[in-house]
Amino acid sequence: MKSSTMIALAAAAVFVSVGCAPQPAPVAEAPPTPELVSDVVTAAEQKAMSPEAVLADLKAGNERFVAGELTPRDFMAQAEATAAGGQFPKATILSCVDSRVPVEIIFDQGIGDVFVGRVAGNVEDVNMVGSFEFATKVAGSKVIVILGHTSCGAIKGAADGVELGNLTELLNDFDAPIARADEATEGEANSKNVEFLNLAIEENVRQTIADLLEQSEVISELVDNGELLVVGGIYDLATGRVNWLDS
C-alpha cells in the first residue's frame, strides 16, 4: 500500500511537470523584409515627365516623410546604376545649408533623382544661376524648387545686423525681403519677432524666384514654354512639412 501510494505520487508529479507546466510562448515571426527600390530615373522617363507630375511627386514624397513612410531604397545599387548610366534628375532644389533640412530625405528621393544647390539663406548668385541653367536646359530637370525653412539663421542674422567676414556681404542680399516684411508687420524687425521673421523668410523665397527668372533668359524661356516650373516652399523644422507658396 505504501509502495503503490508512492508510485501514484511520482506519477502525479511527472504529469504536473510535463503535462501541466506553462509552455513557452510561440516565437513571433519576423516581419518580412521590405523590397528595396533600386530603380533610377532613365533618360526616357525623365523626358516623358511633365513639370506638374514632377512637382506632384515631390509633394507626395514630403507627405511620406511626414508620415514616417519613407521608401526603402538600395542606395548602393542606385549609386552603381547612375555611375554606369548617367544621371537624369527630375527636379532641382535650392536649399539653405542648414543641417536640419536634408533635402533628398524630406522629399523621399533616391540617388540621381534631384540636383541640390545649398547656400545660407537659399539665395541665388551667378554661380547658382549658371548651375540651374545646366540642370534644366542641359540635364533636363522639370522643376526648380526654392526651399526656405522656418527659423532661418541667415535671415535672423541679416535682421539683427550680424557682421562677420564674407558673411556680411551675403547677408546684405536679404535687405529687400527684410524691408518688405518690416513694412507689413508690427513690432521690431529682428529675430525675436516671430511674425516678422516668418514673413521675411517667405519674402526671401519669393525674391529668389523673381531674381532667378530675371537673371536667366534660359530659365525664363523654359518656363514660358511650359517646360519648367519654378516654385517656392517653406520647410517647417518642427513638423517636417513643406508648405508650398502660391505662385
pLDDT digits (tens, 9 = 90+) for 13-59: 544 454 455 566 666 676 677 899 989 999 999 999 999 999 999 99
Q: What is the pTM of this model?
A: 0.86
Is pLDDT of 3 > 70? no
Domains of the chain: 41-244 (3.40.1050.10)
Average pLDDT, the chain: 91
pLDDT digits (tens, 9 = 90+) for 100-150: 999 999 999 999 999 999 999 999 999 999 999 999 999 999 999 999 999
Q: What is the mean pLDDT of residues 174-196?
A: 96
Looking at residue 113, its pLDDT comes to 97
Is pLDDT of 195 > 60? yes
Looking at residue 29, its pLDDT comes to 73
Strand partners, 91: 114, 143
CA angle 12, 18, 21 (to 5 degrees): 100
Looking at residue 79, its pLDDT comes to 96
C-alpha cell read off for 88: 537624369
Given the DSSP bridges, would you call strands 229-235 and 242-244 parallel, antiparallel or unpaired? antiparallel
CA–CA dist 59, 156 (Å, integer): 27
